[in-house]
Every structure is written in structure tokens, then in C-alpha cells.
A and B are shown apart, each in its own frame.
Chain A
Amino acid sequence: MTGRLLETAPGPGFADPVADSQRAFRAMLEAIARPGTVQAIGAELTPPAPLSRAAAAALLTLVDFETPLWLDAAARQPAVEAWVRFHCGVPLVDDPAAARFALVADPMGSLLPLDRFPIGEDAFPDRSATVIVAAAGLKSGSGWRLSGPGIEGEARLEAGGLPLGFAAAWQANRGLFPCGIDLFLTADDRVAALPRTVRLED
């Protein structure tokens, strides 16, 4: 058995793991409970590139040794690997179908098809993946039209840098209910969510 001795120390995680992860969790909870809103995570973090502060905070908060993580090619940097292994204790998997969480740093190249991620099963729809996506920017009030649970009437959300055909792929994902993936969109220190229940139109 060979060790995974680190050459250099991974960058720091949360300054205050308990309070910071609770704050981040609260922001993500707000985001997924009210799709279309954009929440600030409020974490002082200097994660390794290409992780944004919000994506890094999401990993620190949600991921642990029981939730295998898939990193897309753009995120699979040695510094990122060492950082998530150290701070989250998470096993990294090569096959997105084996992941419970996925980090997509290059959505144009590796977000689609969505069905590469596990969608759960009818008896256990929670056995699905949560996908954390690096968006080029997040803005509410314009862009996609969202409706569904947690939204009174209609909400608007704009996320930059997503591939063509994402809206159609999302509609297919929504059709799988109660199965399907959930998605967090991250940019800088901000996060928005698309739970599997949300309807999305261009």
C-alpha cells in the first residue's frame, strides 16, 4: 500500500468550520427552497483554482467520506484533489455514474448529458447526484423563466456559461420526478439552485 503523502500543504478551508459551514448550508438551503433567488454564501475562502468561493464552500459543507465526488477534467487539478481530500475526506471517483456529488468547472464541455449522473430510484430518489456547476455569472430577475414548488408565480434566473440545450436537458430531468438530479449554480461567492422539481423555460 502506498501513501498519499502530500508535497505541500493544501490551502486552508473554512476559518471557523462549524459556523462557516452552517452559514453556507443556510444559504444553500435558501437557494434550493426558493429557486430563482441568488444567495451570498459569505465565506472567507481562498480555494485552489478553478474553484470559486461558492463552489468551494458548497463542497466543504455538503461533501464527506460517504459521498463520492466526481470532478470534471477542468476541476481535476492536483491542488483541487489534495484540497478536497484533506478538507472533506472525500473519495474521488472517475465515473460520474458512481458519484453522489459532482463538480463541473467547465459546464460547456462536461455538464451534458445530465443523465451521466445518477438519478436515484423510485424507492430511494435521494440516491441521486447533486451537481455543483461553475457558472460565468448569476443574476435573478432576467433570463430563464422558472416555476414550481418554492416559487410564487414565476421567477427569473440568468446563469452565464451554460451549454446550448441545457434548458431542454433540464426539462427531461424534471420529467424523471421523483428521481432526477439537483443542481447548484455557483459564481464568485454566490449560489442559486435548480431542484429537480423546478420547471425551466428559455
Chain B
Amino acid sequence: MYVAVKGGEAAIANAERLLAETRRGDPAVPEISTAQIEQQLGLAVDRVMTEGSLYDRELAALALKQACGDQLEAVFLLRAFRTTLPRFGASQPIDTGRMQVARRISATFKDLPGGQILGPSFDYTHRLLDFSLLAAGETPGGPRGESDPEPMPHVLAMLDREGLIESEIEDSPDAPVPDITREPTTYPADRAARLQTLARGDEGFLLALGYSVQRGYGRNHPFAGEIRFGTVEVEFVPEELGFPVSIGDVAVTECEMINQFKGSATEPPQFTRGYGLAFGHCERKTMAMALVDRALRARELGEEIDSPAQDEEFVLAHSDNVEASGFVQHLKLPHYVDFQSELVLVRELRRRAAAAPGRRETALAGDE
């Protein structure tokens, strides 16, 4: 028999207070400020903004502080906050070609207009723990070079001019842009809906899928055509003004993959594209996103779909870590009733099986 129970309020309230105490840690150690998180744990902030789908460095830092550094919990907090804000509209599309570049590399062309700019990167570090960081102290200022106003066009535009890669042509400014936060995704999904899903998708999940593509599960021969990181201007057209207003700058990372395509009956062989774009400095994320974007284009490119990364519904439905974490973690909630019914069922099956040993399998199958 099931009896409805209430209770646990005091335990819940205390659990929350205990969490606050645990979050603060040893009071002898100075409290961390959101400004410190924003400045000194910037890449954690970037990931929370990207997957939380809200560009606001201070809020992302606050979420990280509140979540004791748990990134997925911080993403959840930011997502919850964004639902409390009205939306004024959508920006003009950002122009990554006019980015104020802090880093820009290409793995396909050595010499390119604007050059290879390494920027602040882990890539060439030895991954040895730096014990000097254990001691407090200021790092000396970084290096400066001769300011160089040379423009940095997209690398893939050079291939495009020769017709060697598929073109990316603007859509009509009046065409609707799907928004997965307003309308549920329907399958097959538009590439725009896929890119939005991937942009806010979990980095770990996309990284694993991207890796699987490289290891042969839906191989598409990727080259990192260009990766750039920097700030871009955001323009918005208020309905009451009717002209674009520049409202600020956001930092973004962009990755353009170049992939092979053997051609079809109607199209000559040419390279194809995979695209990644994310808030802040999220290089690994945008590379994984570009690999998965390309894998998900299998259908439109007439490729065989036989790998997880090419399975649109599988990828898109499982990439969101707030949804995934919610559903996995809900298993912690009381399932007393569900479990009681299972318990009764298993006891009954065992009783029947014991009564008629020869029909054991049938009984189990029949009641399933």
C-alpha cells in the first residue's frame, strides 16, 4: 500500500545552507570575486556563456561562483536566468570577416593574407605544471609587436574564388530563421536549426562525436581551413528606429573545416564545409562543432548515413547538457511508487515461476 508523504523541508533548507557554507570553503581563505573569475578563469566563463546561450561575462562568472565551479550547473543557472528577460529582437548577422582578430591560424595554407597569428594559445606549451603559479606574484606584461593593419580575409574565400569549395551564399534577409528556443526541432532539421543546437550543445558530447568522425565513423577527411578568435561588432535594428544601431562587441571563435567531397552526377568534385561558431574563446568546441556540422550534412550531400555523428535526430536530441543532465539527474528524485509497482511485479513473477518451474521463461516474457 502506498501512503502519500510530505516532509523533508527542514532537511532541504539545511542542505541549501550547507551548500552555501561548502561553497565558501575555508573562511581563512579570501573569497573569490566574480571579477576574478571573469578575468582569471576566462575560458570557463566562455564555455558557460556559449552553452548557457547568453553573452554576459559577469553573469556567467556569477553562475560559476554559485555553482562552485560546476560548469553544467552554471550553464543551467544562466539558461534559467535568460528565461526571465524579454527579447528585443535579433541582431544583424555578425561579420566574422571584419573581426578584430586576437588569434587566427590555418592548417591548410602556410602563407595567407594577414598571416598566421598564434595569439594566446596552449598549443605550443609543454603541458608541464607551472609551479611558479603556486606562489603569488605578478606575471610580467606580455609581448607587443608592430601594429599591422593588414586585412585578414577568410581563408576559404580563396578556395571559393577558384570554385574549389562550395559557396556559402547569404539567404534572403526576409527569410525566417528557425529558432530552437521558440519552436521545437522537427526532423529533418534545417542546417540553421542544427547550427544553433550545436552552438549551445555540450562540448564534451560534440568533442566525442567529432573524434568518432576522425576515427572513421562517418569519415569526411577534415582539414582545419581556418580558426579565428577575436571580437565582432553587433548591430541591431530597433523597430522604432528602422536603422542599424551598433550596440557593442562580442568575442567569438570561428572554425571553418575543409572536407573532401567526391562529387555527384550533377556536381563536380569540390571541397565541402563544416562550420563552428561560439561565444568567447572556445576553440576545441568550435572545431568539434564544425566536424559534427559536416557529418550532419551527409543527407544533403548524398552520403551514406551509417555513423552516430551523421544521425541528425540522435545528435541534436542529445547534445543539450541542460536537458541531458535534467533527465539523468531526475533519477535521484523519489520514485517510491514506480519502484513499489516493479517490486510487486517481480515478486509475483518469482512466485509464479516457483509454482511452475517449466514455464519460467514464458511467464517473464509474457508479462514484460
Contacts and interface: CB of A to CB of B under 8 A. Distances in A.
Interface of A: 1-6, 10, 64-66, 82, 85-86, 89-91
B31 to A, nearest CB: 33
Given A65-B87, A82-B240, 13 more contacts: A1-B242, A2-B242, A3-B241, A3-B242, A4-B242, A6-B240, A10-B240, A64-B86, A64-B87, A86-B240, A89-B88, A89-B238, A89-B239
A65 B239 CA distance: 8
Interface string B74-92: 0000000000001111000
B182 interface: yes
A11 B4 CA distance: 56
A3 B86 CA distance: 24
Contact of A65 (B89, B241, B244): B89
A195 to B, nearest CB: 22
Contacts of A65: 87-89, 239
Contact of A66 (B182, B238, B241): B182
A65 B238 CA distance: 10
Contacts of A5: 241-242
Contact of A91 (B87, B182, B239): B239
A5 B241 CA distance: 6
A91 to B, nearest CB: 7
Given A64-B86, A65-B87, A89-B89, A4 B182 contact: no
A187 to B, nearest CB: 28
8 contacts: A3-B243, A4-B240, A4-B241, A6-B240, A64-B86, A82-B240, A89-B238, A89-B240
A90 B238 CA distance: 10
Nearest to B237: A1
Contacts of A6: 240
B85 to A, nearest CB: 12
Contacts of B241: 3-5
Nearest to B86: A64
A6 B89 CA distance: 20
Contacts of A90: 239
Nearest 7 Cβ contacts at the A-B interface: A4-B242, A3-B243, A89-B239, A86-B240, A65-B89, A85-B240, A3-B242
Max chain B C-beta neighbours (<10 A), residue from A2, A3, A90, A91: A3
Interface in B55-95: 86-89
A2 B88 CA distance: 20
A2 B241 CA distance: 9
A76 to B, nearest CB: 16
Q: Which of A1, A10, A65, A90 has the most CB of B within 10 A?
A: A65
Nearest to B243: A3
Contacts of A82: 240
A177 B238 CA distance: 37
Contacts of A2: 242-243
Which of B238, B239, B244: most chain A Cβ within 10 A? B239
A82 B88 CA distance: 17
Nearest to A89: B239
A111 B87 CA distance: 31
B316 to A, nearest CB: 19
Given A64-B86, A66-B182, A85 B243 contact: no
B161 to A, nearest CB: 28
A89 B244 CA distance: 14
A93 to B, nearest CB: 11
Contacts of B86: 64
Contacts of B244: 1
Q: Which residue of A5, A82, A89, A90 has the most chain B CB atoms within 10 A of its CB atom?
A: A89
Contacts of B242: 1-5
B190 to A, nearest CB: 16
A85 B240 CA distance: 5
